[in-house]
Structures are given as C-alpha cells and as structure tokens.
Amino acid sequence: MGVTLAILSLIVLIPLSAVALKASEQSWQEFFQAAFNERALTAYRLSFGAALIAAAINGVFGLLTAWALVRYQFPLKSLVNGIIDLPFALPTAVAGIALATLYAPNGWIGALLAPAGLKVAYTPLGVVVALTFIGLPFVVRTLEPVMRDLAADVEEAAASLGATRLDTILRVILPALAPAWMTGFALAFARAVGEYGSVIFIAGNMPYKSEIAPLLIIIELEQYDYAGAATIAVVMLSVSFLMLFVINAIQAWARRLAA
Amino acid sequence: MSRLRHPTEDPIWAKVLILVIVAAFLASVLILPMVTVFFEALRRGLPAALEAIGTEDARDAIKLTLITAAITVPFNVVFGICASWAVAKYEFPLKPFLITLIDLPFSVSPVVAGLIYVLVFGAQGWFGPWLIDHDIKIIFAIPGIVLATIFVTFPFVARELIPLMQEQGVDEEEAAVSMGASGLRTFWSVTAPNIRWGLLYGVLLCNARAMGEFGAVSVVSGHIRGLTNTMPLHVEILYNEYDFVGAFAVAALLCFLAVVTLVLKTLLEIAQPPSRPGRH
C-alpha cells in the first residue's frame, strides 16, 4: 500500500502539480492572456467541438454496431468483433498517416468525396474523422454487455401488449441503454479532447483554423514558453478532471437505476 | 409462404439496412485505414518495404521501442498488482482519491503527460540544474521516454485487476494465512491463479500502448535519430520527409503488431469472457 502511494505520488501527483505551479508563476493577467487568447480559444473550440461531433457520430454508429454484434448473425462476425478494438491497439501515429492518406483528395475515400466539393483531410472535418476513429470502441464496448443483459421478457411483454417493434425499441430498449450510452459517449469525448497522434497528420495544423489544443502546447514548448504551455495544460487538465467527475456521476446514477 | 417473425426480432429490411450502414461505417473508419497502411507500404514492392525497415535508423527505433516496452510492462505489472491489492483488500481513507489517481492517465492528454516530465526534469525544470550538474539526462533521452510511457500505460494492468480482486474478496487469502501459509506463498497459490487471465489481458493492452505511444514520447524525446527515436516517432519523421514507402513500411510493422495484439486479446476473451462494462 505504501509502495502504491509512493509510486503514484512520484509518477502522477508530483509531476502534475508541476504543471499547476509552473502556470501559477505568472500573474492572473498573464495567465488569462496565455489561456484565453484568440489563438488558444480557436484551438479549444476545434478540440472540444470536433470531439463532441465525433462522440455524437460514434453515439449513433457505435449504437448500431453494438446492436448488430449483439443481435444479428452475419458472416465474419468474430472478425468484425475483433477489429472494433483496433483503435486501442493501433499506434495513433499509424492511424494518423493512414487516415490522412485515405481521406486526402487523391486518396481512396477522399477522391470519392472531392467531386462533391467535400474536403476532409487538412480541414477541421479531418479532425472529426480521426477523433471518430479513436472513440469508436469506447461506445461499442460500453454498450455491448448492457445490451446482452437486456431481459428478453420485457421486450416480449411490450410486443404482446401490442407495441410495434419501433415502439418497443424507442420506449423499452433505448431508455434501458441510456446510462451505458452516455458513459460511452463521455469516455469517447474525454479521450478525443486530448488526442494528438492521430489528429496532427490529418488536421493541416493551420493557426486559427485547424490547430488543436494539444498541438498548441507542443508549439509553445518548442518556443521555450514553458509557462504558456503549462497554462494550456492546466485548462485541459481541468476539463479532464471534470470529465472524470461526470463519468463517475453517470456510472453512479446507472448503478442506482439498476438497483 | 413466409415464416412469422419472432416479436423481439427486427424486420428483415431493418436488419439489412443496419448491417449495410454498419459495414460502410466500419469500412471507412477502421478497415480501409488498415488496408491503406499495407497497400502504401507495398506500393513499390516487398523489397523496398523491407529495405525501409532494415535501415540503421529504423532498426535503432525498433530496438528503442522494444527496450521501452521491456521496462514499462514489468514495472506496470508490479505496480498494478500492488495497487489493485491495496484497493481491493484493504479499507482506508482517501481510497476513492487513490482510484481516481490510477485512472487519471486515461483522461490526460498524452501531450500533457509529456509536458509534466519536461517541467520536472527538463533544463528549465525543478531538477534541471541539478541533473545538468550531475550529467544525468532524462529529457531528450531514454529515461524520459520510459517515464512518459509508464505514465500513459499506468492504468492498464491495475484497472483489469481491481475488479477481479474485489470480486474475490479476502476470504480465500484469510483461510490460507490462517492455515499457516506465508504471505508470498498465499499470493502465488491463492491470489495469482485467480487473477492470471486479467493480468495477461492488462499486460497485452499495456504492451500495445507502450510500443505505440506517440504524443507523450514525442514531447520528451527530442527526436534524435538513432538515439531517442521510437518506432512511432520514426514513422512521423519519414512521413514528414515524404518518404511514404518508408513511413508506411514501419507503420505496417506496428499495424501487424496491433493485429497480433487483437488476436491474442480475442483468444483471452474466449478463455475468460469479459463481463464488466466500460473497460478500456
């Protein structure tokens, strides 16, 4: 136990407090200037906005994927099931260059979208694609066990009472999945906000346009502006803590609901 | 004559529609990117790809990645067992705080994970001057890379073991101790068999992340070729130099590793099916 606490303090707690201390070396005015200047605000907007959209996309398609995996039989099912976890296992840099190539104007998918005037790679849309890749397994893997445990008798009861299939899904199944769905959404969002490797290759990284917040930290580090880098890190860490809190609250709520 | 549909089954048109949508989605987000990696790596044939993996810089990067994983994984196994043991078998104040700390690296941006070590050990950092005086290099050197990797892979083993150990409670260990078994003996004969699948699972995910970490390592490494370049960083360098065959050849190697990880993971799940929601 003592070992655990010692290691946790050494590796997590002390270095994390270094960020807060570094950021607090500035005056309030400097802090606000570093944390909320125009360029930083645009970066947060992109990081949080794209993460939110990506989590929403995963919320829809992840739900359908989990449903297909739990309820349907189809060829190559175990292969599909295995590949869902690819974003956990594939290094983010590899995902980044693969997505950038695939969605570039001359890539397989990018070439299909180009005639429609849709540019994905090197635009904020590319950021959304990368964050969707990163977040998918969180939604699917959180929903799956809950879907599998759904009691069949409730569905049968609804059907025998004359509910249409759509009614049963909207009023019986989806409400039962809501807590797990929200947890998956929050996990995907939390992961996407801080994501770096898979995004920078596809984002284009134009200041004020397609620059994500973690990249801004790197840029300030390269300019030896340690306080500035720490300031943005503090903002992002606050959001991380908030997300952890939200996820715990959702899970506690789900447990109360289940009890 | 049509067979009647069971009331809890979706109509056939809905099934087909959902399967088509899911297939299209998975193809564009997961499958085609993976195919792209191998396709681009082999664009100029297998010899060119093998040559890219065989360069000295690439081999150094592979070596460093293996060294990093070889230090990180055992460290996290030991720590994971200690941490889950403390959380599951003892009651103490601040326990929720401890669990939050263990979970934290999951939700901290990898870039921030790298930054915190630069602030502590970098030239401008807390221990910077002292480290320079004693000629110890941590940032822009291998220790920094290992530290940052340990940080981001911290929760994998502990997270797998905590629920397993909590489920088992302390009855069996108490029985063993009361019959005269030593602490170590109790661990090996009673606790270890119960947690081995979870432990393997955690090790697998921890290893995959350790070998593939990019953001955190990128901040602390300094990108010195042949010295502090890991495989993912080498991919970035080659890609930015427009050496796409080289970048994708190294990427294909990492991708192959990911596939092996997924296969092993599937086998482990068959050995012991997961039942807990929200695992990472």
Does the CB of B117 have a partner CB in chain A at under 8 Å? yes
Tell me the average pLDDT of chain A: 89
**pLDDT higher than threshold 80 for residue B277:** no
Q: Does the pLDDT value for residue A88 go beyond 70?
A: yes
Kindly report the nearest CA distance between residue B179 and chain A, in angstroms: 24
Average pLDDT, stretch B75-93?
87
Tokens of A160: 């025998």
| Tokens, residue B9 | 């089954």
Query: What pLDDT does residue B1 have?
Result: 43
Cα–Cα distance measured from residue B169 to residue B163, given in angstroms and rounded to the nearest whole number: 10
The CA angle B182-A3-B196, to the nearest 5 degrees, is 60
The CA distance from A245 to A69, in Å, is 30
A97 closest CB neighbour out of B92, B104, B235? B235
**pLDDT score of B160:** 87
Whether B117 shows a pLDDT value over 50: the answer reads: yes
Using 50, 70 and 90 to split pLDDT, how confident is the model at B279? very low
- The pLDDT-based confidence of B77 (bands split at 50, 70, 90) is very high
pLDDT at B276: 47
The residue type of A195 is E
CB-based contacts of A239-245 (< 8 A; 24+ apart in sequence): A239/A48, A239/A193, A240/A190, A240/A193, A240/A194, A240/B104, A240/B107, A240/B108, A240/B109, A243/A186, A243/A189, A243/A190, A243/A193, A243/B107, A244/A190, A244/B100, A244/B103, A244/B104, A244/B107
- Is A191–B258 a contact, with Cβ atoms under 8 angstroms apart? no
Residue A211: which of A55, A38, A44 has the closest Cα?
A44
Neighbouring residues of A129: CB distance < 8 A, sequence distance ≥ 6: A99, A103, A120, A202, B29
Optimal mutation site among B111, B238, B263, interface A, most CBs of chain A within 10 A: B111
pLDDT of B255:
95
Question: What would the pLDDT profile of A171-222 be if each residue is shown by its tens digit?
Answer: 888 888 998 999 999 999 999 999 999 999 999 888 888 899 999 999 998 8
pLDDT (tens digit per residue) in B118-129: 888 887 777 778
CA-nearest residue of chain A to B126? A18
Beta carbons within 8 Å of A196's beta carbon, 6+ residues apart = A92, A212, A214, A215, A218, B109, B110, B111, B214, B215, B218
- Band of the pLDDT at A65, cuts 50, 70, 90? very high
Nearest CB neighbour to A197, from listed B215, B274, B277: B215
Least confident of A194-198, B21-25, B106-110: B106-110
What is the value of ipTM here, to two decimals? 0.88
Q: What is the pLDDT of residues B212-251, one digit of tens each?
A: 999 999 999 876 666 788 999 999 999 999 999 999 999 9
Dihedral sign of CA atoms B225, B230, B233, B234 in order: positive
Question: Quick check: B79 contacting A, CB < 8 Å?
Answer: yes
pLDDT confidence of residue A116: 87
Tell me the average pLDDT across A33-48.
91
Question: pLDDT per residue over B143-166, tens digit each?
Answer: 999 999 999 998 999 988 888 888
Chain A CB contacts of B116 below 8 Å? 15-16, 18-19, 233
Question: Stretch A56-76: mean pLDDT, rounded?
Answer: 94
Torsion sign over Cα B255, B259, B264, B269: positive
Q: What is the pLDDT of residues A130-167, one digit of tens each?
A: 999 999 999 999 999 999 888 778 888 888 888 888 88
| A8-22 average pLDDT score | 84
Average pLDDT value for chain B = 86
What's residue B2's pLDDT? 52
| CB proximity B161 to A under 8 Å | no
Q: What is the mean pLDDT of residues B253-277?
A: 81
Q: Which tokens belong to A245? A: 């809190």
Check: CB of residue A257 under 8 Å from CB of residue B143.
no
For tokens 């066990």, what's the residue?
A: A145
Selected residue of B71, B108, B121 to mutate for chain A interface (largest A Cβ count, 10 A) = B108
| Cβ atoms A203, A210 nearer than 8 A | yes
Q: Which residue has the higher pLDDT, B66 or B181?
A: B66
Substitution target from B4, B102, B107, B260 for chain A, most A beta carbons within 10 A: B107
pTM: 0.89
